Structure 1
Amino acid sequence: MAVLDRDFWIQLVVLAGVGLFLLIMLWPTASTGTRLLRKWQVPDPSDAQVEDAVRYLKRRRLLYPWLYVAVGFVPLGDDSTKQLLVVVLAGTLLAELLALRVPRQSRRVASLAPRGLFDIAAKGVLISYPVVVLAMAVFLAVNGEWVRVGWLALSVLVVAVIVWAAVVRPATGDETVDLALRTRSVHVSAGLGAGMAGVLVLGLWGFVGILAWIAMANTKPVPTKIAP
């Protein structure tokens, strides 16, 4: 029993260390926020806009150490890529859910035009994600991998909640930045979901899923969609 307790604490420390290392390596700075906004078509961001972007990133990355500890005790196998995807996907989900409640000191903004999913996300991403997931689900079902189908279904539910929250959460800060970051949340979560489908299947299909993850997470929004 003492050996089990010791192994448990060793695993706990290792997982916390990995999460802290990831947090330190990915800790957002002003330059990180500037690069993020330029990538999502805010070409010359002001200091206030960069501050909004850094806050957006911190909201997610501060969760990583805790999630690494929690996910480490979930039976995911020894696949570090799968573990990383689960941590980032879970972090994105929690951050978007937390953003549904706006702190009192936040600057609220209002848009006169109604905002829908197709107003903030590229159609290519919105179409490609379900196609990839459906293909992976059929492959797993044909091969009788029902446990993996269950994990895939759970990842689809998580992505769906993230997308919903990204669309409906209250607007804060600069409108252009707010819309750009909503687009990023949708694209990145869809990409993570495709990557998760890929690592569940492995082999050639797994490689396709990883490529889909990279492509979706780097798909730029249509300029008119995020223009003020």
Structure 2
Amino acid sequence: MNYSYTIIGNSASSNLQLQYYLEEYKDFMCVNISENSNTALNSILKYGPDIIFIDLQKNALEYFQMVSDLHQYINQIPLIIGVSKNKEYAYEAIKNGFFDYWLLPYNEFDIRKAVFKIRKQTPKKETSPTLCLQSYKDYQYIETSDILYLKADNNATDIYLNSGKKVSAFKTLKTFENKLPENFIRIHQSYIINSTYVSGINYGKNVCVIKKSDVKLPFSKSYKQKIDIIKNKISKNTISTQN
């Protein structure tokens, strides 16, 4: 669910500053930096970014023409944000359908507002990444959305799927903990659970219940904070009957 972006501008320090601010947002990914309209147009057609940042301080008219030319090649124009030290090109930016116009120097609050605005107006559909298990010349692919939980087995890991199947991998549980999406949460020295499949949490018995099954996974006190995270995630979309 990443938003890809490209930066167009010949100020290296300004480009680096923008990248620095955007590093805070893990769903924003820089695919290219261009210094002029020709290389920029080529990179846009090559990488198809979701967002384009254009420094309009130099060659502004050339960049406006480039934006106009984009309509010849692509149906869906990326969101375009113009930046400059003054409002000289603000009206022209609006005429050309720019998503936003920022004044330099970059402001952390303005960037944060724009990021949230982009997320709200153009939400990305969540996709489930695929896990690749490799053993010598054998490759096995598993949709992470099909995984119920993972269990440590010495230096190997057993992966339990919603189909009832179990797949063994010759990797430690720690390896998977560092690579799986954020909905996979470690709750015990021996278990990582897919929080989307949790149907119940019993703090008295220290167990998590898996949806549509009799499986109850233990969680240890040292991971109680992780259990609280799961509970809070689930609670956001529940109807409470508490008095």
TM-score range, shorter chain: under 0.3
**Greater helix proportion:** 1
* TM-score, normalisation: structure 2: 0.23
Question: Which structure has the larger Rg over C-alpha atoms?
Answer: 2
Which structure is higher in strand share? Answer: 2
The normalised TM-score by structure 1 is 0.24
Structure number with greater CO (CA < 8 Å, separation at least 6) is: 1
